[in-house]
Amino acid sequence: MDAGGAYNPRTVEEVFRDFKGRRAGMIKALTSDVHEFYRLCDPDKENLCLYGHPNENWEVNLPAEEVPPELPEPVLGINFARDGMLEKDWLSLVAVHSDAWLLAVAFFFGARFGFDKADRKRLFNMVNDLPTIFEVVAGTAKKQSKDKSSVSNNSSNRSKSNSKVKKVSSAVVLLSQMCGACGESYAADEFWICCDLCENWFHGKCVKITPARAEHIKQYKCPSCSNKRARS
């Protein structure tokens, strides 16, 4: 269900703009417009959904009638739990389901228009650079921003190698990047390193770099970037 009719973004940039618009609308519903959102989610009504639209508006409505629907549907029945939970817990739960729906819509477009592995990865990274709706609603997005700023200020007074170790231990956890070599996602017990040229992240084992060796690297170049520079 989309305000203003069907909308089919076809490029990574268009899908990302669609994602940001829907995300902005749902954030408004759960923050600045929360009193109106709360009122509309009457538990005595039928199964209701929270929709975000590309034009940054939001809507509480019944699910689409057609099967299968034009787009993935948000979670049903958000109104039923409204009076059975603390308001902040209910809003957080709706926020989590909203995040899941936004990803489903974005990758629905990606599948529909044949995004390849590189495009899917680029879309994921663009999406992942934004705080989730849950992080905004729970107030953790501001805290993470302050923490990142603090790490950046502290690392500016240290060597490049020490800065990279800080980057590996904190930023990867927040961004959940995928390895540029094997395509697998981050795991908490793995060492990662970032290429200073292409800014892709790699498992240390995939590029044969250990944490001890990384301490002595002032500028890391991944195998692909090293080969490009050698050929040029």
- How does DSSP classify residue 83? G
Q: What distance in Å separates the CA atoms of residue 15 and residue 109, rounded to the nearest whole number? A: 7
Based on the domain organization, do 222 and 117 belong to the same domain?
no
What digits encode the pLDDT tens for the residues 78-121?
A: 999 999 999 999 999 999 999 999 999 999 999 999 999 999 99
Query: Residues 17, 99: one domain?
Result: yes
CB of 201 closer than 8 Å to CB of 172: yes
In a domain, 146, yes or no: no
Length of the chain: 232
Which amino acid type is present at position 123?
L
What pLDDT sits at residue 169?
A: 43
Flag the least confident range among 21-30, 95-104, 116-125, 133-142: 133-142
Q: What pLDDT digit, counting tens, does each position of 179-218 carry?
A: 878 877 766 567 888 888 888 888 888 888 888 888 888 8
204 shares a domain with 130: no
- Bridge-based pairing of strands 192-194 and 49-52 is unpaired
Instruction: Report CA-CA distances (Å) from 135 to 31, 33, 92, 113, 115.
Output: 12, 17, 9, 30, 28
The proportion of the chain whose per-residue pLDDT surpasses 70, expressed as a percent, equals: 76
Domain at 195, CATH number: 3.30.40.10
Residue 183 domain flag = yes
Question: Is residue 169 domain-resident?
Answer: no
Kindly state whether residues 83 and 191 are assigned to the same domain.
no
Domain-embedded: residue 2? no
- Among candidate residues 20, 130, 39, the one with its CA nearest the CA of residue 83: 39
Residue 174's pLDDT is what? 38
pTM as predicted: 0.60
Buried b vs exposed e over 79-106: b needs ≥16 C-beta within 10 Å? bbebeeeeeeebbbbbbbbbbbbbbebb
Place 65 in a pLDDT band, splitting at 50, 70 and 90: confident
Structural domain containing residue 98: 12-138
- The most distant pair of C-alpha atoms in the chain lies apart, rounded to whole Å, by 69
Please give the structure tokens belonging to residue 80: 């039923």
Assess whether 217 and 112 both reside in one domain.
no
User: Is residue 68 domain-resident?
Assistant: yes
Find the DSSP H helices in 158-206.
Answer: 160-175
Q: How many domains does the chain have?
A: 2
Say if residue 39 is in the same domain as residue 123.
Answer: yes
More confident residue, 40 or 161: 40
* Same domain assignment for residues 125 and 196: no
Residue for token pair 């690392």? 155
Q: How many Cα atoms occupy the beta-carbon half-sphere of 206 within 13 Å?
A: 22
4: left (phi over 0), alpha (psi -120 to 50) or beta: left
Average pLDDT rounded to a whole number, residues 9-19:
91
In a domain, 16, yes or no: yes
pLDDT-wise least confident of 61-65, 122-126, 145-149, 159-163? 159-163
Cα gap 110→133, rounded to integer Å: 21
